[in-house]
Amino acid sequence: MAKTLDEQVEAFRTRALDSGPYTFVWIDALTQKVREGGLSGARTDCSGSDLVF
């Protein structure tokens, strides 16, 4: 199984990058401890954007 996976990874790593537009998705998150109504907990805010090259 690992040998097959190694072959797939190598094929991905050595592919041609000039064959067309590639979409990139950028995702970031920020986790903060917050206190609301006397209770504390964690809040996570996520943002994302996509780029086409």
Evaluate whether residue 10 is within a structural domain. Answer: no
For residue 11 the two structure tokens come to 């094929």
Total domain count, the chain? 1
Evaluate whether residue 41 is within a structural domain. Answer: yes
Euclidean distance between the first and final Cα of the chain, in Å?
34
Evaluate whether residue 25 is within a structural domain. Answer: yes
Better-scored residue on pLDDT, 40 or 22: 40
pLDDT of residue 53: 66
Question: How far, rounded to the nearest angstrom, does the alpha carbon of residue 32 sit from its chain's CA centroid?
Answer: 20
List the domain range (segments joined by +) for residue 46: 19-53
Evaluate whether residue 46 is within a structural domain. Answer: yes
> Quick check: 51 and 21 in contact, CB under 8 A?
no
pLDDT of residue 36: 87
Cβ neighbour number for residue 17 with a 10 Å cutoff: 7
Evaluate whether residue 29 is within a structural domain. Answer: yes
In this predicted model, what pLDDT tens digit does every residue of 2-37 receive, in sequence order? Answer: 888 999 999 989 988 887 787 888 899 999 999 988
Q: pTM above 0.75?
A: no
pLDDT of residue 23: 80
Evaluate whether residue 50 is within a structural domain. Answer: yes
Is 1's pLDDT higher than 80? no
